[in-house]
Amino acid sequence: MDRTGSTERKKDTGADSLSEPIECSECHSTSVIEDLARGERVCGGCGLVLSDHRIDTGAEWRAFSAEESDSRSRVGAPVRYTVHDKGLSTVIDWRDRDTSGRKLSPTRRSEIYRLRKWQIRSRVHSSMDRNLAQAMSELERLSSQLGIPGPIRELAALLYRKSIIKKLVRGRSIEAMVAATLYAACRIRQKPRPLDEVADSSRVDRKKLGQCYRLLLRSLAIKIPLSNPIDYISRFASELELSSPVQLRTVEILHQSRTMGLTIGRDPLGLAAAAIYVASIMLDERRTQREIAEVARVTEVTVRNRYKEIVKKLGIDSMSLG
DNA sequence: AAGACGAAAGTGGTTGA
DNA sequence: TCAACAACTTTCGTCTT
């Protein structure tokens, strides 16, 4: 029943976006690829990103449904607990006596014992809920600012819940942990965002964010592979308005660089930037080092150094650079 | 004049004793 | 815990287009 509801919804939004043919403004191709995971709409002809940062029309509560069954979600649980707490605004005394000082009957005693237990639990949970509520609204704000799609948010929310359970948030700001989980979620789904980009969008400085991120990796024992430079290029290339042949050449260059061992120990952002720089010159769509460095959030010097290494090792001479 | 180049000193993170 | 270290950044002067 719930399933039919959700497929119904899906069909509706699908009809909205697909019934009217979308045409690429660049090459007028109508083959448009929906990259839902990335939240982008990409032209199949030339690779131009037609629209990114799309509004996520999904219900926000779906983000928490994964855990709904095996953990007490913030939707169901607090209501039940508050019912138990109702009328018990004072703390239940630990002495098993009534108001006139008489001992309680065994049944009454076990009842009181149960109520006491619930009261403690409800306190624990409500503080966790307050934290979660704040964290989730920050997650919402941050991820829509960065244009991060639903599934990755969901993963971030899951990571955040785990970090609460592990008590990682204590003594740290909620904002920092949220940003860290979001950054981690992007990395896990191979849609990495530069750390600086995430830091800029939240009110957390880069250093704190990095610390929280590393803590997250250690404490939750998650293994996240090094981010692949290739994961960055479609975003960078569309920001620089480079055509898809340039993107393809960039990927080739990165593959070659990897086999030549140029990538180990190097900042993936710098590698992506340098590969784009080389490709843009080769295909006569030159961008300055500065422009590229800016979108990749590295310095010109780094672009230059990687560029030099690539040119030297891959034997690209001045002829093929035009 | 803008872009590219390279040297030198500084920074933050990792590693190994 | 501390020092050595590699990668990257900042800054700045010079060369090239």
What pLDDT was estimated at residue A29? 58
Hunting for tokens 């393809």 — which residue is that?
A248
Q: Using the 8-state DSSP alphabet, how is residue A21 labeled? A: P
Q: How far apart are the first and last CA of chain A?
A: 63
H/E element, A32? strand A32-35
Which bases in strand B are touched by protein, i.e. have an atom under 7 Å from a CB? 2-8, 12-14
pLDDT at A269 over 60: yes
Residue A312 CB lies within 7 Å of the nucleic strand B: no
CATH architecture of the region A4-51: Single Sheet (2.20)
pLDDT at A1 over 70: no
CATH architecture of the region A229-314: Orthogonal Bundle (1.10)
Give me A37's structure tokens.
């995971």
Give the closest nucleotide to A265 (alpha carbon vs C1').
Answer: C7
What pLDDT was estimated at residue A72? 42
What pLDDT was estimated at residue A220? 87
pLDDT digit string (tens) for A85-141?
A: 333 445 566 666 777 777 777 787 777 778 777 766 666 667 788 888 899 999 999
Q: Residue A60's pLDDT band (boundaries 50, 70, 90)? A: very low
pLDDT digit string (tens) for A168-201?
A: 888 889 999 999 999 999 999 999 999 999 999 9
Of the two residues A102 and A286, the one the predictor is more confident about is A286
Helix pair angle (A300-313, A268-282), 10° resolution: 70
Cα distances (Å, whole numbers) of residue A53 to A47, A149, A157, A277, A315: 16, 8, 19, 25, 39
Residue A304 CB lies within 7 Å of the nucleic strand B: yes
What mean pLDDT is reported for chain A? 77
CA-to-C1' distance for A191 and B10, Å? 32
Average confidence (pLDDT) over A137-156: 93
CA-to-C1' distance for A271 and C6, Å? 16
The length of chain A, given as a count of residues: 322
pLDDT digit string (tens) for A218-243?
A: 888 888 888 999 999 999 999 999 99
Average confidence (pLDDT) over A283-303: 96
What pLDDT was estimated at residue A77? 38
CA-to-C1' distance for A101 and B13, Å? 64
Give me A265's structure tokens.
């120990």
Residue A308 CB lies within 7 Å of the nucleic strand B: yes
CA-to-C1' distance for A307 and C12, Å? 21
User: Which one of 1.10.3720.10, 1.10.472.10, 2.40.110.10, 3.90.1150.180 gives the CATH number of domain A127-220?
Assistant: 1.10.472.10
CA-to-C1' distance for A30 and B5, Å? 44
CA-to-C1' distance for A277 and C13, Å? 24
Percent of chain A with pLDDT over 70: 66
What pLDDT was estimated at residue A45? 55
Q: Residue A17's pLDDT band (boundaries 50, 70, 90)? A: very low
Nearest residue (CA) to C1' of B14: A265
How far is C-alpha A77 from the geometric centre of its chain's CA atoms? 26
Q: Is-same-fold flag (A127-220; A229-314)? A: yes
Smallest Cα–Cα separation from A277: which of A246, A301, A299, A298?
A246
What pLDDT was estimated at residue A48? 59
Smallest Cα–Cα separation from A228: which of A278, A264, A180, A182?
A264
Of the two residues A293 and A71, the one the predictor is more confident about is A293
Helical H segments across A48-147, by residue range: 65-68, 77-85, 106-145
Of the two residues A8 and A145, the one the predictor is more confident about is A145
What pLDDT was estimated at residue A70? 42
User: CB neighbours of A300 closer than 8 A, spacing ≥ 6?
Assistant: A289, A290, A293
What pLDDT was estimated at residue A41? 64
Domain boundaries, chain A: 4-51, 127-220, 229-314
CA angle A235, A199, A229 (to 5 degrees): 35
Q: Residue A298's pLDDT band (boundaries 50, 70, 90)? A: very high
CA-to-C1' distance for A134 and C7, Å? 37
What pLDDT was estimated at residue A40? 58
pLDDT at A278 over 60: yes
Of the two residues A4 and A103, the one the predictor is more confident about is A103
Q: Name the residues in A91-120 having a C-beta closer than 7 Å to nucleic acid strand B.
A: none
pLDDT digit string (tens) for A197-215?
A: 999 999 899 999 999 999 9
Please check whether residue A195 is in contact with residue A220, taking contact to mean a CB–CB distance below 8 angstroms: no
